[in-house]
Structures are given as structure tokens and as C-alpha cells.
Chains A and B, each alone.
Chain A
Amino acid sequence: MAEQKAPRKLCLIASKGSLDMAYPPMILANAARMGGIETHIFFTFWGLDIITKKKQNGLNVAVVGNPNMHPWFHIPTIIGVIPFMSAAATWMMNREIAKLDFPPVGEFMEMLVDAGAHVYGCKMSMDMMKLKKEDLIDGAEVLGAMEFMDIAEGAQIIFV
């Protein structure tokens, strides 16, 4: 009963770069840090956009092939192919996010780094996308998958 529990540690793997999939790992990481839990986020593949300076504030919502849109702005695939539908959905979602007082992606990531979350860009994905460390936000490190596995030892891991 009174056994000493090891401090909790959370590792998140962020693999998606659409606007709707960028928020879950950031919100979970933030909640963990607010509760004093050691937190690491590994950004891989499209997830790298979230910590790429030039891209992070231009993330979009895909309307085609996205079955999860909220009912009142559900856009049928046939309509979704019309130009600017994605831009319209992105605009709407950004507005809803701001209403909830969630910061835009860039500001959210800055807050997470300040909050002491460890942020990593996946080396292989970066090579593939021709990205350098300087392209990532301040505070981000570049890491290989195996090194991340070392860090993740004993942690709870969430893949997004």
C-alpha cells in the first residue's frame, strides 16, 4: 500500500500534421506538465510540421476523407473537393480554438517548451523533408528513434 511509486513520465509521439491532429498531443503534454509529470514529445513524419517554424502556424484541416467533422460543419466529400473548402474549415476551426482560449500552434509549442516539456524532431523524417535543426522551434532537439526509445524507458507512451 505505502510502496514508493516512481514519478510518472509521459512520452507522446506526434505523427500527424493536420490542424485537428496537432492539438491532442499538445493538450495532453500540457496537462501532464501542469500536473508535474515529466513529458517528452517526439515529432515524426507530418507531425514535424507542428515544430517547423515556417509551417506550424499554417496547418490545415483536411475536409476530404475526414469522417470526423462535427455534424454542423460536416462537409460531404463531393463538396470538399471544391477549392477553398479546406481553407474555410481551417478558418472555422481556428476560430473555435481561439474561443476556448487555446493558443495558436506556435504559441502553444512555445508555452510547452517554457513549461519544461522536452521536444524532439525525428532525425529520419527531417532528413527526408530536408529540414535542419534551425528550421525547428527554439528548444527542440533532433533525435533518432532509438535514442527516443532510451528516453521512453519506463514511460507511458501515447501515439497520436
Chain B
Amino acid sequence: MADDVLSKLKFDADGYMEDSSAWNEKVAEALAAKEGIKLTDRHWVVIKYCRDTFAKTGDAPSLRNITKNTDVQTKELYELFPGGPGKLAAKVSGLKKPTGCI
């Protein structure tokens, strides 16, 4: 099922979506499942913030921005995305790898 959603989409070599406008909530769930993550309300707080920031700035937010501007703090962020929130929050949100260092 998850593969169906993803099969029509294009990804770069690192698995980030080529076209972030093709992203929707079903895609997010499928991308998360691929990373072994089942999305909860708390994940959605992060994902929505990532999408909003991208809409405004054209870039994925830094983790520091996420923890500053949402109620998700560093510890929880790493629990939500155990494989590395720097990569995964952006990936699941259909965005490119964040360019920020922090």
C-alpha cells in the first residue's frame, strides 16, 4: 500500500522528494513507514511546522527552529525521529535536506 503512494513520485539519491508540491499526508505516512516510523499527533506538529516554514522560506527549518517555535523539545524530537531528526523530519515532510548546521 505504502509503495503504491510512493511509486509515482520522484526521489533524489538520498531519498528526498524531488517535487515537494506532490507531497500530501498519505505520502508522509508512506515515507515515515519506510523509515520505520508510525506518525502520531506529535510527529504532525513537527511536520506541519516544517511545511509552514518551507512555504515561507523555501527551506526546511533547522532543528533549533523547530524546538524554538513548537512545543516539541530536543529530547522528544529525537524520540520521534530516532534515525536522526535533521534528515527525517525534512524527508517525511517532502522537503530537501536542511542546509542549517544546527
Q: Residues on A close to B: CB < 8 A?
A: 27, 30-31, 33-37, 101-103, 111, 114-116
* Closest Cβ neighbor of A31 among chain B residues: B101
B83 interface hit (Cβ, 8 Å): yes
Bound complex: CA of A111 vs CA of B102, how far in Å? 10
Bound complex: CA of A112 vs CA of B88, how far in Å? 18
Which residues of chain A have C-beta atoms less than 8 A from B101's C-beta?
Answer: 27, 30-31
Which residues of chain A have C-beta atoms less than 8 A from B75's C-beta?
Answer: 114-115
Bound complex: CA of A68 vs CA of B66, how far in Å? 33
- In the assembled complex, the CB of B41 is this many whole angstroms from the nearest CB of chain A, namely 21
Which residues of chain B have C-beta atoms less than 8 A from A35's C-beta?
Answer: 84, 86-87
- In the assembled complex, the CB of B7 is this many whole angstroms from the nearest CB of chain A, namely 21
Which chain B residues (52-102) contact chain A, with CB distance < 8 Å? 62-65, 73-75, 78, 82-88, 101-102
Are A115 and B82 in contact (CB-based, < 8 A)?
no
User: Given A27-B101, A27-B102, A115-B78, is A34 in contact with B73 using a C-beta cutoff of 8 Å?
Assistant: no
- In the assembled complex, the CB of A159 is this many whole angstroms from the nearest CB of chain B, namely 20
Which residues of chain B have C-beta atoms less than 8 A from A34's C-beta?
Answer: 63, 84-87
A–B complex contacts, Cβ < 8 Å, 18 sampled: A27-B102, A30-B101, A30-B102, A31-B101, A34-B63, A34-B85, A34-B87, A36-B84, A36-B86, A36-B87, A36-B88, A37-B84, A101-B62, A101-B64, A101-B102, A111-B74, A114-B73, A114-B74
Bound complex: CA of A107 vs CA of B70, how far in Å? 18
Which residues of chain A have C-beta atoms less than 8 A from B85's C-beta?
Answer: 34
Are B64 and A33 in contact (CB-based, < 8 A)?
no
- In the assembled complex, the CB of B81 is this many whole angstroms from the nearest CB of chain A, namely 8
Bound complex: CA of A34 vs CA of B88, how far in Å? 9
